[in-house]
Amino acid sequence: MAILKMAHLVVHAIVAILISSLAVTAVSAQAVYKWRLAMSWPEGTPMLHNAAARFASNVEKMTGGRMRIIVDAPGRHKAPLGVFDMVRSGAYEMGHTASYYYKGKDPATTFFTTTPFGMTPTEMNAWYYYGGGLALLHKVYSRHNIVAFPAGNTHIQMGGWFRKEINSLNDLKGLKMRIPGHAGEVVEKVGMKPVSIPPGELYTALERGTIDAVEWAGPANDEKMGFQKIAPYYYTGWHEPGAELHVFVNKDKFDSLPEDLQAIIATSAKEVSFDILSESFFRNATVWAEMKYQRNINIRTFPPDVLNAFKKANSELLDQVAAKSPFAKKVIGSQQKFLGLVKEWSAITDQEYLQLR
């Protein structure tokens, strides 16, 4: 009986060990990922910070807590335009940024954000998801160990605040304007002087006439800068007709995830891409309604000779970039072909409807 009793105890002990080891196995089958995301925008930036935070919280909700993403602002990681490098190296698993900040790394990255006189948000999304854009994005970024997803279209940006009205191309000659990147190169080709001034000094520079014009974003961001008080002409946009932001994921880390988490990340990025367009439209539209009510702001569209000069300069610059990078050539070519195919449809639907409404 003693032996039987001992056997009984042995059974208990073994069972207890087995239960605890099985429990461990069950939990570790559902590993928890704690990832960090570096965003390019300072904490509290309207729309943009929201988008990164909602991406992170949506992933956490959908994974039932299996993936947690800590969002770091430049105040912490110190490199607003270094997201590409930090994600490529794996220093951060993820980033939220805009592809066109990285043309120095790879010229092909520029046009995944936007192109002057290019696609509207609706056209851009159609290109990404049905016109081959997403496949090109993955191709370009996989060379840099990054999986990139479109993650936020910021809608059509305004052309900037001007102290004086522009009635012809001549009025632009020699004007100093804060307008960065590719658009800055375009205006330089037609005789303007693009200048770089820190955000905190822009208002004073414009007030004192150190600069004549400034391009910033749209009413929701511009209003806080106060440009409407000192530059009464607000020009309609041509240079960023639907700028798309991106979520970057380190490719090695992404490839090592289970398939359900990969699907959740891809879908959350797409949700943010969609949502930020709604939020950008909403905030800009409502702030505009308020600004317009408070102050006499003159909405102007550049005259045809100015627009034609911008178009010509832009086209020449695109050719130069394409000549230097086969990948950039592919992206530019794909976008131009797509836009050629769909632009008449936009004209007889979106444009015509807004006119007749």
Does 31 engage in binding with a copy of itself (CB under 8 A)? no
Does 302 engage in binding with a copy of itself (CB under 8 A)? yes
Does 335 engage in binding with a copy of itself (CB under 8 A)? no
Q: Output 198 or 354, the one with its CB closest to a copy of itself.
A: 354
Q: What tokens does 279 get? A: 């939020």
Closest CA to 195 of 204, 209, 184, 183: 184
Q: Output 196 or 296, the one with its CB closest to a copy of itself.
A: 296
Per-residue contact track with a copy of itself, 121 to 150, x per CB under 8 A?
xxx-xx-xxxx-------------------
CA 334 to mean position of chain CA atoms: 20
| Residue 284 C-beta: closest distance to a copy of itself, Å | 6
Whether the CB-CB separation of 112 and 55 falls below 8 Å is answered with: no
Does 260 engage in binding with a copy of itself (CB under 8 A)? yes
Does 19 engage in binding with a copy of itself (CB under 8 A)? yes
Q: Which stretch binds a copy of itself (CB under 8 A): 31-39, 77-85, 141-149, 259-267?
A: 259-267
Q: Is 297 helix (H, G, I), strand (E, B) or coil?
A: coil
Q: Output 188 or 271, the one with its CB closest to a copy of itself.
A: 271
| Residue 299 C-beta: closest distance to a copy of itself, Å | 5
**CA–CA separation, 83 and 74 (whole Å):** 10
> Could you give phi then psi for residue 182, rounded to 5 degrees?
-55, -40
Length of the chain: 357
Whether the CB-CB separation of 174 and 192 falls below 8 Å is answered with: yes
| Residue 296 C-beta: closest distance to a copy of itself, Å | 15
Does 89 engage in binding with a copy of itself (CB under 8 A)? no
Does 307 engage in binding with a copy of itself (CB under 8 A)? yes
CA 16 to mean position of chain CA atoms: 53
Q: What tokens does 296 get? A: 């006499």
Does 314 engage in binding with a copy of itself (CB under 8 A)? no
Does 337 engage in binding with a copy of itself (CB under 8 A)? no
Which of 271, 329, 334, 336 contacts a copy of itself by CB under 8 A?
Answer: 271
In Å, what is the CA distance from 95 to each residue of 36, 39, 98, 180, 193? 8, 5, 10, 22, 33
| Residue 26 C-beta: closest distance to a copy of itself, Å | 5
Which of 273, 314, 325, 335 contacts a copy of itself by CB under 8 A?
Answer: 273
Q: Which stretch binds a copy of itself (CB under 8 A): 59-67, 88-96, 162-170, 178-186?
A: 59-67
| Residue 354 C-beta: closest distance to a copy of itself, Å | 4
Per-residue contact track with a copy of itself, 216 to 235, x per CB under 8 A?
---x----------------
226: Cβ–Cβ under 8 A, 6 or more apart, which residues?
Answer: 203
Q: Output 38 or 231, the one with its CB closest to a copy of itself.
A: 231
Pairing state of beta strands 213-214 and 176-178?
Answer: parallel
What are residue 235's DSSP bridge partners?
A: 160, 300
349: Cβ–Cβ under 8 A, 6 or more apart, which residues?
Answer: none
Q: 151 to 190, contacts with a copy of itself by CB under 8 A?
A: 155-156, 158
Which of 4, 28, 196, 198 contacts a copy of itself by CB under 8 A?
Answer: 4
Size of the site for a copy of itself (CB under 8 A): 83
Task: Report the b/e string of 11-32 with b at 16+ CB within 10 A.
Answer: eeeeeeeeeeeeeeeeeeeeee
Q: Is 126 helix (H, G, I), strand (E, B) or coil?
A: helix
